[in-house]
Amino acid sequence: MLIIPAIDIYQGKCVRLFQGDFKKKTIFSTEPEKIAKQWMEAKVKRIHIVDLDGAKQGSLINSTTISKIISSVSCTIQLGGGIRTIPLAQQAFDLGAEKIIIGSAIIENINFLKQLTTHFNPKNIITSIDTIGDNIAIHGWTTKLPIKIDTLLKKIEAFGISEFVYTDVLKDGTLSSPNFNQIEMINKNTTMKMIVAGGISNTAHLKHIKNIGIHGCIIGKALYTGAIILSEAISLM
């Protein structure tokens, strides 16, 4: 299972939010590229970067900071946050991201995914599905939509997408526990590779998720607080 450390960028800084609330953020570094170098030292294969400002505004606001991060490492970068047009997707690839993460744009307009897979290799596109309770959350988790996740996954699969990120917003940044039952249920109902985020706070959680058969885990706050040591987590996988 892939262990994917997260770097969330807000106003050029590396931060973590609590349950997606921008008012409840903790700043962990004013130089995110140094964080990325630390993850590289632990021999990660992939890093997850999100432009939080971009997720709210629909643009890659922190492109300069993102460029610094990507140029400082040699692993695969998956980048998301506000990528809602073909030119923005191209900008993300031009910055050096190998994979782009698309969420709000395809949920609001599934035809955008068709456009993306026409312009770019579907293997380089990761869809992001965030939930708050029974609702899909979009626009940096600020808007909820009553869309069933299974229905959405089937639509996404039809375009040849092979990976998706699932985040339980109510678990994100809480260091509580992932919703294992929900994760297992979703994983059984799709052929895509599932990457889980939200609530992972110890290696026991990682082992449980691995046993379910999950492709990857995104870890954020647990790494920054020291609840999980990245090198140890990677060695267990």
**Distance of alpha carbon 89 from its chain centroid, rounded?**
16
**One of 51, 53, 130, 168 is an active-site residue; which one?**
130
Alpha carbon distance 37, 19 (integer Å): 27
Alpha carbon distance 172, 167 (integer Å): 7
Assess whether 21 carries a catalytic annotation: no
CB 120 within 8 A of CB 113: no
**Closest of 157, 158, 176 to residue 168, by C-alpha:** 176
Assess whether 8 carries a catalytic annotation: yes
CB 37 within 8 A of CB 76: no
Angle, alpha carbons 52-128-153 (nearest 5°): 160
Task: Give 43's strand partners.
Answer: none
**One of 8, 51, 53, 168 is an active-site residue; which one?**
8
What amino acid positions are annotated as catalytic residues?
8, 130
